[in-house]
Amino acid sequence: MSIMNSFNDVFERITAEASRLARYNCHTISSRKIQTSVRLIFLRELAKHAMTKSPAPSKSAMLKKCGRECVV
* Structural domain count, the chain: 1
Q: Which domain CATH number covers 31? A: 1.10.20.10
pLDDT in tens, 28-61: 777 777 777 777 777 766 666 666 655 554 334 3
Instruction: Name the pTM for this structure.
Output: 0.44
For residue 15, what are the domain limits?
A: 2-71
Letter string b/e over residues 22-57, b meaning 16 or more CB atoms within 10 A of that residue's CB:
beeeebebeeebbbebbbebbeeeebeebeeeeeee
pLDDT in tens, 7-35: 788 888 888 887 887 777 776 777 777 77
Backbone angles phi, psi at 64, to 5 degrees: -80, 135
How far separated are the first and last CA of the chain, in Å rounded? 32
